Amino acid sequence: MGEVIVITSGKGGVGKTTTTANIGVGLAKLNKKVVVIDTDLGLRNLDVVMGLENRIVYNLVDVIEGNCRIKQALIKDKRFENLYLMPSAQTKDKSAVSPEQVRKLTEELAEEFDYVLLDCPAGIEQGFQNAVAGATRAIVVTTPEVSAIRDADRIIGLLEKHNIKKPDLIINRIRMEMVKRGDMMSVEDVTEILAIPLLGAIPDDEKIVVATNQGEPVIGMDCLSGKAYMNICRRITGEEVPFLNLDTRNHIMGKLAKLFKSN
């Protein structure tokens, strides 16, 4: 029996979809059988971020309405063994599915997959209710901004009501140079305020924009954000992985300083 994990944030635009896509790829790379589900009805995005938008035939609503079998709506990602996407419907709205229907679907999928990842829409209305219905575990994505943290805190409260007591936290778009200047909350600041376990922090990385342009994950790439995502995936599987030092400039400056000292 696999795990059903919802990736949520409350606020939009903090990186839920990018995070879902990268975690999906990362877990597949760790030889887990993974299905990622886009639950944002009417605003389909996960397919584009994953570069699978041209292969959609059936979608989540088709499965729930019984227009096709589950297998027919699953798009196999040819680049990664064991990774499947169930896209959302672009022409339906939130009322097309109910929490109960999503719960039944994820239950069935969890019998066949190690991980069922649900990309949750922004907001706390029915889209959120649908996405969390079947989840046994949750990942809250936030950025180091007052508005995003406030929304994350509300989401944590709502998840508690759905019996997900300790969701995991991912802090996205950290800019170390701003943290050092005292103009951005640090990973420690945010973790302390939200008081839930930290799963990982992702640096604000141009590589993510480039990768998303190309419909590629950043996770296999040799860059800090890619490594941070990979570590997150290993932690999800239960492995203990030390946190990355996101302060690259310090590394380079440190090395330079050493160089000058030795001369």
Partner 1 sequence: MKNGSVLIAKDRLKSLLVSDRVNCTPDTFEKIHSELFQAISKYIEIIPEEFDVKITNSYIHITLMGEDS
Stretch that binds partner 1, among 32-40, 85-93, 120-128, 141-149 (CB under 8 A): 141-149
Tell me which of 182, 238, 240, 263 binds partner 1, using CB under 8 A: 182
How far apart (Å, rounded) are the C-alpha atoms in residues 235 and 227?
Answer: 12
CB atoms within 10 A of CB 92: 18
Is residue 109 near partner 1 by the rule CB under 8 A? no
* Cβ partners under 8 Å of residue 185, min gap 6: 144, 145, 149, 179, 193
Question: Looking up tokens 């790379």, which residue turns up?
Answer: 29
With binding defined as CB under 8 A, does residue 163 bind partner 1?
no
53 binds partner 1 (CB under 8 A): no
Q: Is residue 259 near partner 1 by the rule CB under 8 A?
A: no
78 binds partner 1 (CB under 8 A): no
Q: Which residue of 57, 195, 253, 257 would you call a contact of partner 1, by CB under 8 A?
A: 195
Query: Cβ(150)–Cβ(38) under 8 Å?
Result: no
Binding-residue total with partner 1 (CB under 8 A):
20
Query: Does residue 100 touch partner 1 according to CB under 8 A?
Result: no
Answer for which of 61, 83, 149, 199 binds partner 1 (CB under 8 A) is 149
**1: nearest Cα among 152, 146, 107, 138:** 107
**Minimum CB distance to partner 1, residue 157 (Å):** 5
247 binds partner 1 (CB under 8 A): no
The C-alpha atoms of residue 12 and residue 129 are separated, in whole angstroms, by 16
Encoding tokens for residue 192? 């302390």
- Quick one: which of 23, 102, 116, 184 contacts partner 1 (CB under 8 A)? 184
Q: Are 128 and 15 in contact (CB under 8 A)?
A: no
Say whether residue 13 binds partner 1 (CB under 8 A): no
Contact 139, 5 (CB under 8 A): yes
Q: Which stretches of the chain bind partner 1, using CB under 8 A? A: 145-146, 149-150, 153-154, 156-157, 160, 165, 180-186, 189, 193, 195
